[in-house]
Structure formats: C-alpha cells, structure tokens
Amino acid sequence: MELVTPEAFVLGMSAIGAGFAVFTGVGTGIGQGMAAAKAAEAVSRQPEARGAILSTTLVTAAVAETSAIYGFIIALILIVANPLVGML
C-alpha cells in the first residue's frame, strides 16, 4: 500500500522549495537596509555629494533587488505552474 502518491510528494517538496526561494527576500532586505544606512551616513558627511551618492545607491538597490525577484519568480513557478507534476 502506497502512503504518499508521487504527485503529492512532488507538490509537497515544491512547496518547501518555494518557501526557501521566497526566503531570498530576507537577505535582500537586510542588504538594502545596510546600503541605505551607509548612504545616509555618506550624505551626512558630505552633503555636497548628495546627487552622486543617491544615484549610486539607487543603482545598487536595483541590482540587489534582482535576487529577491528571481526567488519570487521561482516560488511562483514551483507553486502555480509546477513542471514536474505533469511528468509523473
């Protein structure tokens, strides 16, 4: 007697994987917060360089956000359009 079907096992593991994928947002949030704090310190030290610091910080935040976006997309794929379920 089979306790767990292969489809249920794949869906369960996909849900766990999606949870891990979404967890990338935690690291991104911490990194962006640290970058924003350092940018605020830099502006307080050199107010005349505010424009250059702001533009560099925005580019850095956009690059850092990509890992969270990739994690979110992977989580959506694993939960909504799981390609492994159709293969079983």
pLDDT of residue 79: 84
Q: What is the mean pLDDT of the chain?
A: 88
Domains and CATH numbers, the chain: 7-80 (1.20.20.10)
Is the separation of the CB atoms in 18 and 74 below 8 Å? yes
23-49 pLDDT, tens digit per residue, is 888 989 999 999 999 999 999 999 999
Q: For the chain, give the percent of residues with pLDDT over 70.
A: 91
pTM over 0.85: no
pLDDT of residue 82: 74
Question: Can you tell me the distance from the alpha carbon of 36 to that of 59, in angstroms, rounded to the nearest whole number?
Answer: 12
Alpha helices in 23-80 (DSSP H): 24-45, 50-79
Question: Can you tell me the distance from the alpha carbon of 83 to that of 88, in angstroms, rounded to the nearest whole number?
Answer: 10
Helix (H, G, I), strand (E, B) or coil at 7: helix
pLDDT of residue 56: 93
